[in-house]
Amino acid sequence: MIDYQTDYLVIGSGIAGLMFALKASKHANITIITKRSIDESNSNYAQGGIATVMSSADSFDEHIKDTITCGGGLCHRDIVEKTIQRGPQAIRDLMNYGVQFTKSASNKDELDLGKEGGHSHRRIIHAGDITGHEVKKVLIDVVKNNPKINVFEYHIAIDLVTSKKLGFSTRNTVLGAYVLDIKNSKILTIRAKSTVLATGGAGKVYLYTTNPDIATGDGIAMAYRAGARIKNLEFVQFHPTCLYHPKAKSFLISEAVRGEGAVLRTSDGREFMKDYHPMGSLAPRDIVTQKIDLELKKSGEECVYLDITNKSKSFLKERFPNIFSKCLQYGIDMSCDLIPVVPAAHYFCGGVQSDWNGQTNIDRLYVCGEVSCTGLHGANRLASNSLLEALVFSSNAAESSKKYIENDYPENIEIPKWDAGSAKDSDETVVVTNNWDEIRRFMWHYVSIVRSSKRLERAKNRIELMQKEIHQYYWDFVITNDLIELRNIATLAELIISFALYRKESRGLHYTLDYPKKNDKVFCRDLVYENGKFIEGEKICE
């Protein structure tokens, strides 16, 4: 029995999901489900901006070069080239919807361009220091006024419905999803001609993260359970500068602050990044994060410091109004005080494998945004390429998936309603809380910035034991939002550990003490995981 039927089911309400919905609504009806309110997503917290070539002093070739250099040898050149060349059009699309980007102080007819780590030129289009929030605000308004788009807030997808799971031998096809209506504790069966995962990342797998509480890897976990290929999940980007303060939760100090001249210092005032990289504090994120971790281990200190006291208060309040205000709230005046910072889990460069159109290896299933692995980022994402990817690939997916909308519903298979069996309400929710906390702690200690085979094996043993407990709990008790998220972060943790153990080298965001060098002969290729085993990934290096 079907509770709801739609042309497109879009799971997630970040910039990728909203942009897809707007583009696809030109030829179909859209249903967006989001597990919190529509304005809550990772992209809502994106401070820096969108990396795009918009200056005559810059070029596509330079942006391509910076992206590939940062990607540690695993970027797919064809994807990088096409994505970057589409950047200016993506910005124009946003401006046509009504997004107001910050203009240059010297020429109000031109956009102000910021600079971030790894970039050779100023090319970050931004809206103050709350770019993601400003873009989302406009897109949400346009979506709400579009009669072809329905939004179901406080609805969380449990699992994708596929022809394979229902026992059909035809090519595996996504038919829709089972969805929990959180407020009414009711499970819906939604049928769709095409399903789009735009669920963002999984920072909450780690104890310390810049991500909001919703970032539990739901899309990657669901896609994997459905039979989708997962790629390069060992590459987890830790942002170097999360505000270190007992009352500050997950607040990011944008890389754009370093782009405007801030430097990293130890507690004794030493500008340590000059010792490690010619770009100093503006080195790529993997390098900066690893060196902060090294300095903290050497000194025993709990944080390092970001120093932008060379800029005036008026400049800082105008360029970084949100960051300046937030720091002041915690007693830190950026114009005269050093900002205490630590690394925190930030962005997943791996995810569900997709092609240029965002299509997965499962029919009628598309992915866009951080949930996907397109080949753009390689082993380490260049700052502010993430929103660019989300915009370009959501547009690609909207165009590519039209072929499914023109046909009838897939396979003409009857989807059974959710069967709760003998599941009962749990009186031991402490089990969920404790398991959630334990996963995040051992992932932080064993599978974060610096890894080793011994640490990874310990993590593998822990997650295998916990998976058995979580699996039993999942089937014994009535489904809740917390249980769905626990199941998903456990799946993500197990996948990340498997990838990290398999890649026996150090490259980009994956650094292991046992294999501290790159091994291009064996590992200059994607790692692809499907149905519990690794398959031969594409060779990148020539």
> Which residues belong to the active site?
285
- Rounded to a whole number of angstroms, the CA Rg of the chain reads 22
Order of strands, sheet of 304-307, starting from the edge strand that comes earlier in the sequence = 236-243, 339-348, 304-307, 263-265
235 touches 373 (CB < 8 A): no
Q: b/e per residue, 437-452, with b = 16+ CB within 10 A?
A: eebbebbbebbbbebe
CA 366 to chain centre: 16
Q: 413 vs 1, 153, 190, 261, CA distance in Å? A: 11, 28, 13, 59
**Residues 6+ positions from 167 with CB-CB distance below 8 Å:** none
DSSP tag of 165: T
Exposure class string for 83-121: b at 16+ Cβ within 10 A, else e = bbebbeebbebbeebebebbeeeeeeeebbbbbbbbbeb
Strand partners, 31: 9, 150
- Nearest in space to 177 (alpha carbons), one of 484, 495, 401, 469: 484
In 3-state terms the chain splits into helix, strand, coil percentages (rounded to 5) of 40, 20, 40
Please name which of 280, 279, 385, 299 lies closest in space to residue 342, comparing C-alpha atoms: 299
- Report how far residue 477's alpha carbon sits from residue 350's, in angstroms, rounded to the nearest whole number: 32
**Tokens 């931004």 found at:** 126
Could you tell me where the beta strands, DSSP code E, fall in 183-231? 186-197, 230-231
CA-to-CA dists, residue 482 to 215, 346, 442, 488, angstroms: 13, 22, 19, 10
The answer to whether 48 and 254 have CB atoms below 8 angstroms apart is: yes
H/E stretch holding 529 reads strand 528-530
CA 375 to chain CA centroid, Å, is: 14
The residue whose two tokens read 């969805």 is: 179
150 neighbors 142 (Cβ within 8 angstroms):
no
Kindly report the number of other CB atoms within 10 A of residue 278's CB atom.
7
